[in-house]
Structure 1
């Protein structure tokens, strides 16, 4: 289940540099590196947090991945317009305030707003309903018959809500036929502060390389769950995955960190570097 941390955080400054197009049946934000198309190293598909494909933080993250890794990055509207509204970040902040009598008086109003903003997202984007949409996009991407996407390695980067889908894509059932050969839907996956995981199954079923960025103060994946991830992934060393735990980081630190806070900004940047470096290493071996 989602918790308030899934809908909290900070909106980052900046202007996305990519463009919007329609691809494989979905609206998609596209970030391209400043190199010739023939030199692109691979494709990264961002499966976003609850705030979806239009959230400025997610689009700026796509831009960073594109330029840092020389990847083509897709950020699709997997939620079909039912992402949590960005204004709900401030609503959650107001719900959690307890410093004055006024905070308690207006709390019912903010709780009602939170329910209004969150319930449609939760209802429409349950994993059994949303994963077929995600999987279909990756199938179409893998089957792309012509450039610029044909035969490029594919990675999935999932955050919070998207982390669940990244792990599902990494399971053994996620295969398709491309060029007459059975291929996985993704060559590698990265997930930052995933949510709604089933333990230990979602970890035990991984058969593709996956990199985890986890915060040790995350209420969704706590110390017990981190220990399970570490233990299971140690037994899958041959896959080339990795688990990194960020001390003091909470849920959302990869996407919604307060960049005005030095430690938060540093950890968000390090998580970007972790993801880009991991995909580079995986793609070089394909």
Structure 2
């Protein structure tokens, strides 16, 4: 990952309505009161405290009648929200060092433990990941005992082996311009997922860039339309496979 699209974007206005709790061993943003359905959100570089991701959690909790969890998978490290619009903060951010601290190998046990904790409590569990969270959702999708369905928008850090391993329904939200979900990976998904036997859905967003679903410019007509469409896609997909 070497693209500025991972650290740029727009902060959204609004006050999240949830609380903070623990899930497995992770600090977690929690919203909703369902005793049957849970949604696990795996956030991007900005982490569990980002206002945008918490507002998305609130929306999923309300529209899906689910309890939604956004765990901290970065040991308390969060990116300052001003980084979205501050070139100096963006320049100072060392992606390679961050990724070394938060590699797949290091964070997977935490992601798995959180999913297991939810599965032990709820009848059905879905997961949605943004950017860095994409690989985590793919890896969860390889084990039906962990989740019942996944969705991911502009997913990062996954590979062809992850696509081969999918065993639960999967939704892919794909902007036209995305350095992580490359044309090669998109083509591989088209060729491979039909052979898995799982239900799958690919939603293409012409004219949009990596990050639009969680950090898009919603003060513009196009930006809001893209975010809302992506958000609604997740809701409709989970309505079918979560409930």
| TM-score range for the pair, normalised by the shorter chain length | over 0.9
- In structure 1, runs of 5+ residues without a counterpart are 96-108, 144-149, 175-182
The CA distance in 2 between the partners of 1:187 and 1:217, in whole Å, is 29
Note if 1:122 corresponds to 2:122. no
Spell out, residue by residue over 1:131-157, the C-alpha distance to the aligned partner (whole angstroms, 9 max, x if none): 1111111122222xxxxxx34200010
Equivalences for 1:190-201 in 2 at 5 Å? 190-198=151-159, 200-201=160-161
Note if 1:279 corresponds to 2:238. yes
Larger radius of gyration: 1
Equivalences for 1:1-286 in 2 at 5 Å? 1-32=1-32, 37=34, 42-91=37-86, 94=87, 111=91, 113-115=92-94, 118=95, 121-143=98-120, 150-171=121-142, 174=143, 184-198=145-159, 200-236=160-196, 238-284=197-243
- In structure 2, runs of 5+ residues without a counterpart are none
Distance 1:121 1:82, change over 3 A: farther
The CA distance in 1 between the partners of 2:185 and 2:218, in whole Å, is 27
Q: Give 3-state SS (helix, strand or coil) of 2:237's partner.
A: helix
Q: Give 3-state SS (helix, strand or coil) of 1:202's partner.
A: helix
The CA distance in 1 between the partners of 2:233 and 2:20, in whole Å, is 26
Once the two structures are TM-superposed, the CA of residue 2 in structure 1 deviates from its matched residue by: 4.8
The CA distance in 2 between the partners of 1:274 and 1:245, in whole Å, is 11
Once the two structures are TM-superposed, the CA of residue 283 in structure 1 deviates from its matched residue by: 2.4
Once superposed, which parts of structure 1, at least 4 consecutive aligned residues long, lie more than 4 Å away?
A: none
CA RMSD of aligned residues (A): 1.9
The CA distance in 2 between the partners of 1:7 and 1:110, in whole Å, is 6
Q: 1:218–1:250: 8 Å Cα contact kept in structure 2?
A: yes
Spell out, residue by residue over 1:94-136, the C-alpha distance to the aligned partner (whole angstroms, 9 max, x if none): 36xxxxxxxxxxxxx963x233xx4553231111111111111
Q: 1:66–1:72: 8 Å Cα contact kept in structure 2?
A: yes
Once the two structures are TM-superposed, the CA of residue 234 in structure 1 deviates from its matched residue by: 2.7
